[in-house]
Structure 1
Amino acid sequence: MTEGFLSALVQDRFDVLFKDVTEVIFTDFPDYANVGDSAIALGVLAYLKQRRIVVSSVYSIDSLDRGSVGAARALVINGGGSFGGLYPIADRNRVAIAQAKRSDAILIQAPQSVHFSTDQAEIDLMTVLAATTNFRLAVRDAVSGQRVDRWGIPAVLSPDSAHLLRLPPRPPTRALSILQRSDFESRDRAVVPEGADWLRDTPSTAMATKARKITRFTRRPPKFMRSEAYWTRVAEGRLQRGLRMLDAEVVITDRLHAMILALKLGRRVIAVDNSNGKLSEYAATWLSTEPSLEFAESFTDARARVHS
């Protein structure tokens, strides 16, 4: 599928997710260094802006105002790969929101990859969500849809919201970039000397994040810190840092959003799957005919393919 088709498909599927929604609270905007989650959130905001859906407040997980949750008519949870016990904080937040919202309020889960870490994690999360009224779930690959289907929750199958981003042309500045996970989702843990991850903010961004955390502990975030414009600037800074890491003719990566963004930039991408098959499941659903994408068994294998 072409990038233009995927972008249009996200809009179409989001029209289903956000049907009859005119105003929404963004409940868990990412305030950490992972570039991929910022790209997801920016894609969601781009859709909301295009459809003229008002974003009344934006919170991160640790600044979310429970009173606002109980008063809201619609809430959105960011997409990603945090669904199913891999990141317990994210699932606890989903459960808390589902239990605190009004029964008539719409709760929208933007497209997620679903991988249940344990049977108990699946039961703890899905029992609550299956009983939640007006809960709308989107998954970003076919296998994830199968994993939630047995709970009776009709899931919308949608590409990742990062496909909605408009990226200006960026000519490559070097031959090769290797973006390698440094966390527990890495499958190939052999360290590549020239590899790097995007889990470290610039010093100025890190200082601003630390200041926000102090504010959250001492008082409710000020109004400007709950605005769509404020968080857009924060996420854009992180996205640009990530795009600079992809300024190469060939990108080798085991991060899903490095793969998606590099393909949007017109790079040749050699992907190495992560520990739970997130990249291959996504590619099988949406990118099976993408000529610039191939998969390798390891980073060593990927490097050998660069000149083949």
Structure 2
Amino acid sequence: MSMPVTINIRYKYILLVTLATVSVLLFFYGLTRTDMQTLKNPASLSVPKVHDLDQNRKSLFKKAPVKNSLKCESTISFQKNVLFTYYKHSFEGVKKVALIGFPDHPNKGDSAIYIAERKLLEVLDIQVVYICSSQSDYSASSLKAIVQESSPEEFAFAFHGGGNFGDLYPDHQQLRENVIHDFPNGRFVSFPQSIWYNDETALQQTANLYAEHSQIQLAFRDRQSYLTGVNGFGENNEILLTPDIVFFMGTLSDIRETTPIKSDVLILARLDHEGGQQHSSESLYHEGLTSGNVTYSVEDWLSWDPEEATNSDATFDTKGESRFLSGAHFLASHKAVITDRLHAHILSTLMGIPHIVVEDSNMKKITNYHNTWLRGCTSDGVSVIVDSPEKAIKILMDWKKQQYI
């Protein structure tokens, strides 16, 4: 006759705790695997491992020290992960969206944002059923007919991201506010934006409108914008700090590797003088670069548009894709970049192009973003931010001497 098995109370407690812990770990492991399998390329989200420090490893930034490139790649992977996680839950249950604010202009950075937004929505298996670019092509009646075809929990309005939240670009802001006004019961999700108001009264008016709608989620892409968003809208709306959506693309070294080099340095300087930026004069760079035997060009990517984007029958996707790719190849056709545009900074980072940001704008849009998300990419042969062309030239010459470019 077998004897009953008895378990000491203390050991029984330890066994139960161990089993519970293992169950929780298995649950989160399964949840994580499910999330990652939703991505088309889940491996791109993983953080580089220690063995990747091997000197034979192919760096994103080809000539920078491997440790500098590796640290930046980890920073990129982290941002992509944050974006996927946030928007997966933000769009939970959504099957269709209306994308409000397509950037129908030559700014290649805004087109990069659009392409990244489409890629994320595709990964989340969300169909874009309506797009408008401005108040001129927005039709409330047409959109209402589309909305009525879906259940409320499966439809959302997605606001295009970028730097046009506020009164600096009033047409874009007015379009969003018109849509919110026309759809009082709508669910609104914003892709990451920067916010800037010169008029506090205008900010308060926007906040009052948004306060009337409980289903508005606002995402801001730098700490300063986030704080402004919390103070202005946080009492009534959901506010989150997220990276710029372009980081969802991950690394883009293939574009750099397939683009022929035209000159040593591209000086991509904005012509619109946003926030007081004025670095488009060639005279600021000519003497310092020519004395160092450096070939260069000075241009803003607003000054031209690819032929595909100017065709009258071009679709939104055709315009966005052609502008994004032309801007990326424009950057990649140089060994290094000096710029005062945020998305020239971001795309150069993703393509592995050594670059220097010059910013003395009172908006500090690039510096605010960099200090929020890209400190891991601040290193020799990768990127750095300075406040004058003279400092940029000095660093560039040092990088050339060190053979980082």
Under a length normalisation based on structure 2, what TM-score does the superposition of the two structures give? 0.67
Bigger radius of gyration:
2
* Alpha-carbon contact 1:140-1:157 (below 8 Å) kept: yes
Q: Which runs of 5+ in 1 are unaligned?
A: 213-224
Kindly indicate whether residue 307 of structure 2 is the aligned counterpart of residue 204 of structure 1. yes
Q: Which moves more between the two structures, 161-170 or 198-207?
A: 198-207
Give how far 1:269 is off. Answer: 1.6
* Alpha-carbon contact 2:255-2:329 (below 8 Å) kept: no
Higher relative contact order (CA 8 A, sep 6+): 1
Distance 1:84 1:236, change over 3 A: same
Tell me which of 278, 293, 298 is aligned to 1:195: 298
CA distance in 2, matches of 1:148, 1:203: 35
CA distance in 1, matches of 2:245, 2:221: 9
CA distance in 1, matches of 2:241, 2:310: 38
CA distance in 2, matches of 1:286, 1:126: 27
Give how far 1:68 is off. Answer: 3.7
1:97 aligned residue: 179
Distance 1:206 1:300, change over 3 A: farther
**CA RMSD after TM alignment:** 1.9
CA distance in 2, matches of 1:57, 1:27: 8
After superposition, what is the alpha-carbon deviation per residue over 1:105-138, rounded to whole angstroms, capped at 9, x for unaligned?
A: 2111111011212112211222211222311111
* Alpha-carbon contact 2:230-2:239 (below 8 Å) kept: yes
Alignment size in residue pairs: 289
2:157 aligned residue: 75
Distance 1:283 1:127, change over 3 A: same
CA distance in 2, matches of 1:301, 1:114: 28
CA distance in 1, matches of 2:336, 2:188: 40
Give how far 1:190 is off. Answer: 4.3
2:375 aligned residue: 288
Give how far 1:57 is off. Answer: 1.8
Give how far 1:102 is off. Answer: 4.2
Give how far 1:301 is off. Answer: 2.3
Tell me which of 93, 98, 109 is aligned to 2:190: 109
Kindly indicate whether residue 389 of structure 2 is the aligned counterpart of residue 307 of structure 1. no
Q: Which runs of 5+ in 2 are unaligned?
A: 1-73, 148-154, 283-296, 399-405
Tell me which of 64, 82, 85 is aligned to 2:138: 64
| Percent of residue pairs identical | 28
CA distance in 1, matches of 2:375, 2:238: 25
Kindly indicate whether residue 177 of structure 2 is the aligned counterpart of residue 177 of structure 1. no
Distance 1:74 1:282, change over 3 A: same
After superposition, what is the alpha-carbon deviation per residue over 1:156-188, rounded to whole angstroms, capped at 9, x for unaligned?
A: 211111112253241361321111011031534
Distance 1:186 1:145, change over 3 A: closer
* Alpha-carbon contact 1:25-1:76 (below 8 Å) kept: yes
1:118 aligned residue: 199
1:218 aligned residue: none
Q: Which moves more between the two structures, 169-178 or 80-89?
A: 169-178
* Alpha-carbon contact 2:165-2:194 (below 8 Å) kept: yes
Higher helix share: 2
**Partner of 1:2: helix, strand, or coil?**
helix
CA distance in 2, matches of 1:188, 1:115: 15
Amino acid at match of 1:187: G
**Partner of 1:57: helix, strand, or coil?**
strand
Under a length normalisation based on structure 1, what TM-score does the superposition of the two structures give? 0.87
